[in-house]
Amino acid sequence: MNDHTEAPSARTRVRRVATNAHYDAATLNAIIDAAYLCHIAFTDSTGAHCIPTACWRDGAYLYIHGSNGSRMLKRLQESDACVTITHVDGLVMARSAFSHSMNYRSAMIYGRFEVVADEAARRKAMEDFMEQLLPGRQAEVRPGSDKEYAATTVMRIALDEAACKVRSGGPKDDEEDLSWPAWAGVLPFAQTRLAPVADAACAIEAPAHVTGWQNG
Amino acid sequence: MNDHTEAPSARTRVRRVATNAHYDAATLNAIIDAAYLCHIAFTDSTGAHCIPTACWRDGAYLYIHGSNGSRMLKRLQESDACVTITHVDGLVMARSAFSHSMNYRSAMIYGRFEVVADEAARRKAMEDFMEQLLPGRQAEVRPGSDKEYAATTVMRIALDEAACKVRSGGPKDDEEDLSWPAWAGVLPFAQTRLAPVADAACAIEAPAHVTGWQNG
Q: Is residue A182 part of a domain?
A: no
Q: Is residue B72 part of a domain?
A: yes
A residues 60..99 contacting B (CB < 8 A): 67, 70-71, 79-84, 86, 88, 90-91, 93-98
Q: How far apart are CA A160 and CA A137, in angstroms?
A: 31
Q: Per residue in A53-100, pLDDT tens?
A: 999 999 999 999 999 999 999 999 999 999 999 999 999 999 999 999
- A88–B37: do the CB atoms touch at under 8 Å? yes
Does residue A112 belong to the interface with chain B, where contact is any CB pair within 8 Å? Answer: no
**ipTM exceeding cut-off 0.90 for this assembly:** yes
Beta-bridge mates of residue A111: A81
DSSP letters, A160-208, are SSEEEEEE-SS----GGGTTSSS--EEEEEEEEEPPPEE-TT--SPP-H
pLDDT above 60 (res B1): no
Which residues in chain A are contacts of B148 at CB distance < 8 A?
97-98
In terms of C-beta distances under 8 Å and separation of at least 24 residues, what long-range contacts does A134-138 make, across chains too?
Answer: A134/A209, A134/B91, A134/B93, A134/B187, A135/A209, A136/A207, A136/A208, A136/A209, A137/A209, A137/B93, A138/B97
| Closest listed residue to residue A104, CA positions, set A198, A203, A21 | A21
Q: Is residue B127 part of a domain?
A: yes
Confidence of residue A4 (pLDDT cuts 50, 70, 90): low
Say what the pLDDT of residue B2 is: 41
Give the contacts of B96 (CB within 8 A, at least 6 positions apart): A141, A142, A144, B173, B174, B177, B180
Give the contacts of A182 (CB within 8 A, at least 6 positions apart): A93, A95, B140, B141, B142, B204
Q: Is residue B116 part of a domain?
A: yes
Could you list the residue range(s) of the whole structural domain that residue A129 is in? 10-173+187-215
Q: How far apart are CA B37 and CA A102, in angstroms?
A: 10
Q: What is the mean pLDDT of residues B164-188?
A: 97
Q: How far apart are CA A102 and CA A86, in angstroms?
A: 12
Using CA of residue B18, residue A192, residue A196, residue B216, what is the dihedral sign?
negative
Q: How far apart are CA A54 and CA B16, in angstroms?
A: 15
Domain count of the fold of chain A: 1
Q: How far apart are CA B135 and CA A20, in angstroms?
A: 29
Q: Is residue A181 part of a domain?
A: no
Q: Per residue in B2-25, pLDDT tens?
A: 445 789 998 889 888 888 999 999
Q: How far apart are CA B17 and CA B87, in angstroms?
A: 18
What percent of chain A has a predicted confidence (pLDDT) above 90? 90
| Closest listed residue to residue A56, CA positions, set A132, A136, A155, A114 | A132
Say what the pLDDT of residue B135 is: 92
Does residue B142 belong to the interface with chain A, where contact is any CB pair within 8 Å? Answer: yes
Does residue A37 belong to the interface with chain B, where contact is any CB pair within 8 Å? Answer: yes
Say what the pLDDT of residue B168 is: 97
Q: Is residue B40 part of a domain?
A: yes
Q: Is residue A180 part of a domain?
A: no
Q: Is residue B94 part of a domain?
A: yes
CATH of the domain at A63: 2.30.110.10
